Chains A and B, each alone.
Chain A
Amino acid sequence: QQQVKQSPQSLIVQKGGISIINCAYENTAFDYFPWYQQFPGKGPALLIAIRPDVSEKKEGRFTISFNKSAKQFSLHIMDSQPGDSATYFCAASAETSGSRLTFGEGTQLTVNP
């Protein structure tokens, strides 16, 4: 029940295209859903996050869509750039669990020039 499932495992997109990464969860106690970006040899960096009281959040080229009834959320990267090439992790946490993060398996995004 604590798992977060992420897909696809890898994604190749052309420059200017839209990258879409999906995550699904089981635990209805989760109340915070961040996305992290990780470059090789670096720590994860918080990209954007959403709470279940809204269905969408946009920050620049990055948008999170959230479907509470389906227990799914997704990251959309508009106008993808080669510099976006990285591994992306979705995560979830619950206030009742001390906010430890449960991570998805990660998606390796490659944006071709």
Chain B
Amino acid sequence: NAGVMQNPRHLVRRRGQEARLRCSPMKGHSHVYWYRQLPEEGLKFMVYLQKENIIDESGMPKERFSAEFPKEGPSILRIQQVVRGDSAAYFCASSQSAGSSYEQYFGPGTRLTVT
């Protein structure tokens, strides 16, 4: 399966713990986008990364959230000291290049539950 892979698919964390979400883009794709979907809502952009660079983090909360896309390995979205309001589905998408000529393909998502 050459699609976008995300793991874990489900993650339960207690308030105050850290959550690490991983995303492996499609083969040949070097651009990764993270989106968050709150229950009964649409997807909201969080951050856009290329290999080793954060290009646009305008949608990411200023505190507790960080993202990286190292030269080797998957992209990681990290949420420190999780709170109940962080409970959501987190999706990553990948594209071959930047620009609206290139389609974004989504992974299956990680569903984070904070208890």
Chain B residues lying within 8 Å of A94, measured Cβ to Cβ, are 100
List A residues 17-56 near B (Cβ within 8 Å): 31-32, 34, 36, 42-46, 49, 51
- CB-nearest residue of chain A relative to B6? A43
Q: B79-115 toward A: CB 8 Å interface, digit per residue (1/0)?
A: 0000000000001010100111111111111000000
**Which single member of B6, B44, B91, B102 contacts A44 (CB below 8 Å)?**
B91
Asked whether A45 and B106 contact (CB < 8 A) given A94-B100, A100-B48, the answer is yes
Residues of B within 8 A of A (CB): 4, 6, 33, 35, 41-45, 48, 55-56, 59, 91, 93, 95, 98-109
Can you list 24 contacts pairing A with B, beta carbon distance less than 8 Å? Answer: A32-B100, A32-B101, A34-B103, A42-B108, A43-B91, A43-B106, A44-B91, A45-B106, A46-B103, A46-B104, A46-B105, A94-B100, A95-B99, A95-B101, A99-B95, A99-B98, A99-B100, A99-B102, A100-B56, A100-B59, A101-B43, A103-B44, A104-B42, A105-B42
